[in-house]
Amino acid sequence: MTAVNIIGAYHSKFGKLEEESLYSLYEKAIKGVLEEARLGAEDIDAVFVGNFSGGTFNNQENIACYGVNALPALRHKPMYRTENACASGSSAVHMAAMAIQSGMIKRAVVIGLEKMTSLETAGVSRSLALATYWPEEGAQNVTAPCMFAQLARGWMKKYGYSEDKLRPWLAEVAAKNYAHAAQNPLAHLQKPRSKAEILDLPDEKNPVIDAPLRLHDCSLISDGASALVLQANNLGSNGSQPVALTGFYNASDYLDNFGKKKSDSFLEGASVAVKMALRQSGMSIDDMQLAEVHDCFTITELLLYSAMGLAAPGKEFEALESKQVFANGRCVINPSGGLKAKGHPIGATGVSMHASVYRQLIGDAYGLQVPDAEAGMVVNIGGSGTSNCVSVLKRV
């Protein structure tokens, strides 16, 4: 089976990008990543685009083929769009990698993009609710915060923790990611806040969204795009720096919310995907010096510590207390600032995670650099743990 390398990455600024449209984000991403990889459109065999809901956000489905508008030299080449909720971007990465492994293509561009701020918060919430099991959840006003608040409540109940006990741990996750994002010029939010500052905020500044989750436990509504060039490892790198995609896996789970057919205290699908991707790569979690993980809510990152094998279930807070997930720790989690502070333009997120790890491994991070990093992981979750995409990257 053909091995796959990443040879270039592009990353826009994340945030409320009033001057950008879905189309301009796409065009800048595809042109930018080809420039980074020192390639032309004629060198690309296929384009894979991760986009969650251009239809609801921008009245534009069928966005993949806009690549021809951006670069007419790509006309009549295959272009595909993937939708897997918040894992749409990583799903596009995995599909491109599988196409290369199969021998059908040699080189691909992968783009992730979303233009979310065209809608007000209520419209965004309804769009995200389309990623639930609609008849029983979205149609009954179940939103993303509701799903992950259920996860938090299930975890507290199973392990006997009160909300007062949980709050400082969630605040520490947020504070860590705010601190990391403050060093990332591409991040949506670059203002650090300490754990104490978050805990001391009055209710009107940090309101309850769905108990126990508050405003500062939630990721950001953002615009942005990211892109990669993937190719067979037997092709020349054209002077760019390759990083190997040594393992990847997508573990799918029930569409229903946590606590129905799947655990409401452990991220089962993510755990399976981590194990499978590591097995493919021939490495263990101890070999990972950093990871970009899916902190759509602070509780999600906290519980990913056990799913990844960094802490025991029910003891996830020990990864915080030991500082192993902070800068200079054993496995730095979300050095980019994560979804919490870097931003979460849904379709762009998974590609952004891969781009961030790629740049870490070539020693040119967008912000906080993990020293001498040789291997890193991406853990990208869609829906209520329904799509769990994990990738392992290694410096060549």
Q: In whole angstroms, give the CA distance from residue 185 to residue 331.
A: 22
For 10, half-sphere exposure in the C-beta direction (CA atoms, 13 angstrom radius) is: 27
Residue 168: pLDDT band (50, 70, 90) is: very high
216 carries an active-site annotation: no
Given 11, 216, 344, 354, the catalytic residue: 344
Going by C-beta distance under 8 Å and a sequence separation of 6 or more, which residues neighbour residue 395?
Answer: 243, 244, 361, 362, 373, 374, 375
Closest by alpha carbon to 188, among 345, 356, 293? 345
Domains of the chain: 4-120+221-232 (3.40.47.10)
For residue 344, indicate whether it is catalytic: yes
Instruction: Please provide residue 306's backbone torsions phi and psi, each rounded to the nearest 5 degrees.
Output: -80, -40
Q: Over range 71-93, report the average pLDDT.
A: 99
Please tell me whether residue 382 adopts helix, strand or coil conformation: strand
Residue 239: pLDDT band (50, 70, 90) is: confident
pLDDT tier at 238, thresholds 50, 70, 90: confident
CB 273 within 8 A of CB 279: no
Q: What is the pLDDT of residue 260?
A: 86
Comparing CA positions, the residue from 294, 384, 297 lying closest to residue 90 is 294
Q: Which of 11, 86, 94, 188 is catalytic?
A: 86
337-377: per-residue pLDDT in tens? 999 999 999 999 999 999 999 999 999 999 999 999 999 99
**pTM for the whole structure:** 0.98
Decide if 145 contacts 255 (C-beta within 8 A): no
H-state helical runs in the chain: 22-37, 54-58, 66-70, 88-102, 121-129, 144-159, 163-181, 195-200, 268-281, 298-308, 317-321, 338-341, 346-361
